[in-house]
Amino acid sequence: MPRVRTEAAVPPADAQVPVVEPVHLQLLREVLQRFGRARLRVSGTSMLPALWPGDVVEIVATDATALHPGDLLLVERDARLFCHRFLGSLQRSGQLLLRTRGDLLSREDPPVGPEALLGRVEAAQGAGRPPHWLAVLLCRLATVWPRPLAWMVQGRERARPAASRR
């Protein structure tokens, strides 16, 4: 009998997002507060085809009230940084919450408060982008097989589950 793969069996593209050390997060917040901008290299596949692993993004400090749907945001959630698209805001129990989602992901991220917003992406340099024909092929594969896409883009070792690396 053939095995049926459900959506739950495939880990999300952000499942391997590394935890940010508190001192690094504090340093990033200080740089954004003092200089108003910072540059970071992205590593995940959740924003394909807009951002590729290895791309460098320029983050500009911004207020949550100045955001527009479609903006790319850098937010901190569960000691991890996410660069995802802003979908809009909502009010829950009188508190403003921001809705985000990675372009390649089928579900929205859990809403975050404005204190989790680090900034808005103002520019991106395509250091990690493959040739156009390969980018198109990988994006089409991503809709069918997210796991092989992660293997091709990030390398075999990072795509394998932790249990099988031993």
Using one digit for the tens of pLDDT, what is the confidence trace for 113-149?
Answer: 999 999 999 999 887 677 777 777 766 766 666 555 5
- Which amino acid is present at 103? D
CB 98 within 8 A of CB 132: no
Q: What are the sequence ranges of the domains in the chain?
A: 17-129, 130-160
User: What does the block give as tokens for 19?
Assistant: 């935890």
Rounded Cα distance, 94 and 121, in Å? 27
Q: At what angle do helices 132-144 and 146-154 cross, to 10 degrees?
A: 140
| pLDDT of the residue at 44 | 86
What torsion do the CA atoms of 136, 139, 144, 145 make, to the nearest 10 degrees? 110
Average pLDDT over residues 8-17: 45
* Among the listed residues 14, 128, 145, 148, the one whose alpha carbon sits nearest the alpha carbon of residue 82: 14
Cα angle value 76/15/83 (rounded, 5°): 35
User: Would strands 117-125 and 56-60 be described as parallel, antiparallel, or unpaired?
Assistant: antiparallel
Average pLDDT over residues 94-109: 94
- The pLDDT tens digits of the residues spanning 25-61 come to 999 999 999 999 999 999 888 998 888 888 999 999 9
Rounded Cα distance, 98 and 83, in Å? 13
* Among the listed residues 17, 11, 101, the one whose alpha carbon sits nearest the alpha carbon of residue 53: 17
> Per-residue confidence at 71, pLDDT binned at 50, 70, 90?
very high
CATH of 17-129, one of 3.10.20.30, 2.10.109.10, 2.170.130.10, 1.20.1440.230: 2.10.109.10
